[in-house]
Amino acid sequence: MAIALSNLESIKSDKLLVGFDKSDDAAVYKLNDEMALIQTLDFFTPIANDPYDFGQIAAANALSDVYAMGGEPTVAMNIVGFPSCEDMNTLGEILRGGADKVKEAGAILVGGHTVDDKEPKYGLSVSGIVHPNKVLSNCSAKENDVLVLTKPLGLGIMNTAIKAELTTKEETRQVIDIMSHLNKYAAMAFKEIEVHSVTDITGFGLLGHAMEMAKGSDLCMEIYKDQIPYIKKAKEFAAMGIIPAGMYENEAYIEEDVKFEVEDEVMKDILYDPQTSGGLLISLKEEYASKLIELIKENKGLDSFVIGRVKTNLEKTIVVK
């Protein structure tokens, strides 16, 4: 990907508050002194057997980028690839799932674009708004901040197990519910609690996205292994070797910048595990962390946990203790 992007000219504009130069979650363009536009898109192949569930998960994943920038989604458009020979009722269920999740987000779905494709794909292009002075970024963490994670890890491992038909209906439902849960309910707390930096945890796994935040902020991070929330069954599957290929890719990509001070191969897999529609990683002052976690719970968010701290001058960019 870096090679493909290397030929693109870096755009400089006083109105472009966030571009693609630091791997942030979305672009932010200043419209005036009171409003900036957030623009993002995301789509992928089916992550659930049920088309309605797939639509919900894909939509929640795309909407998440707006919440990670501190904004509110306003308008969304469907992005669809679908085989013309397949049952259009299946596509209808995918679109219904996405539409319901956009409605839950408080945004408006205004159409989209569909192409004939051999493999189904679905997602959204999403526009949102934020005050120019309240834009959040993945490169503005501060020294001595603590790190809060708002969803459990292990989604990639669990999805691999689901595809292999190794999970129960209850375990499968748990995973789907986590992936389709909007990060809206965590981000609502930002209206009352000042946070410094935010990113959502998706394909690069917790360590990959933490790495982007650390390097973008010119800092380092300690991750506390024993404080990481994860789906319990995911640890069992990881111990059995039920691991997605993306985990190995993530490890190969950043392992030179990561030091593990403890030997725990299974937790290592979970920390590198690629997530689909994962939670938010939030950097903020320690004194506000408990209140943030309390507000997220009050807002019907999932359980959140302090999982690390922002530091300087560590031996590696990320140190897992």
pLDDT of residue 34: 97
Eight-state DSSP code of residue 57: H
Residues 62, 126 contacting (CB under 8 angstroms): yes
Task: Please state which architecture CATH assigns to domain 146-320.
Answer: Alpha-Beta Complex (3.90)
User: What pTM was estimated for this model as a whole?
Assistant: 0.95
> Is the pLDDT at 22 greater than 70, yes or no?
no
Confidence label for 146 from pLDDT (cuts 50, 70 and 90)? very high
pLDDT of 41-80, one tens digit each? 999 999 999 999 999 999 999 999 999 999 999 999 999 9
Q: Which residues contact 17 (CB under 8 A, 6 or more apart)?
A: 28, 29, 30, 36, 132, 135
pLDDT of residue 108: 98
Q: How far apart are CA 284 and CA 196, in angstroms?
A: 5
> Is the pLDDT at 1 greater than 80, yes or no?
no
pLDDT of 154-197, one tens digit each? 999 999 999 999 999 999 999 999 999 999 999 999 999 999 99
Q: Which residues contact 296 (CB under 8 A, 6 or more apart)?
A: 150, 185, 186, 188, 189, 302, 304
pLDDT of residue 13: 83
Q: How far apart are CA 214 and CA 138, in angstroms?
A: 8
What percentage of the chain reaches a pLDDT higher than 70?
98
Q: What CATH number was assigned to the domain covering residues 2-134?
A: 3.30.1330.10
The residue among 296, 262, 264, 263 whose CA lies nearest residue 279 is: 296
Give me the residue spans of the domains in the chain.
2-134, 146-320
> Is the pLDDT at 145 greater than 70, yes or no?
yes
What percentage of the chain reaches a pLDDT higher than 90?
91
Q: How far apart are CA 262 and CA 213, in angstroms?
A: 23
pLDDT of residue 3: 72
Q: How far apart are CA 247 and CA 49, in angstroms?
A: 22
Residues 130, 88 contacting (CB under 8 angstroms): no
pLDDT of residue 19: 78
- HEC readout, 75-137: EEEEEEEECCCCCHHHHHHHHHHHHHHHHHHCCEEEEEEEEECCCCEEEEEEEEEECHHHCCC
Residues 146, 28 contacting (CB under 8 angstroms): no
> Is the pLDDT at 23 greater than 80, yes or no?
no
pLDDT of residue 7: 73
pLDDT of 214-234, one tens digit each? 999 999 999 999 999 999 999
> Which tokens hold the place of 276?
């689909």
pLDDT of 231-253, one tens digit each? 999 999 999 999 999 999 999 99
pLDDT of residue 9: 72
Of 4 and 202, the structure prediction assigns the larger pLDDT to 202
Amino acid at 272: Y
Other Cβ atoms within 10 Å of 287 Cβ, number: 8
Order of strands across the sheet that contains 305-311: 197-200, 280-284, 146-149, 305-311, 220-223, 318-320, 258-260
CA torsion sign for 134, 136, 137, 142 is positive
Buried-state track 191-205, b at ≥16 Cβ within 10 A, e below 16: eebebbbbbbbbbbb
pLDDT of 92-113, one tens digit each? 999 999 999 999 999 999 999 9
pLDDT of 253-294, one tens digit each? 999 999 999 999 999 999 999 999 999 999 999 999 999 999
Is 146-320 the same fold as 2-134? no
**Hey, is 264 helix, strand or coil?**
coil
Residues 274, 182 contacting (CB under 8 angstroms): no
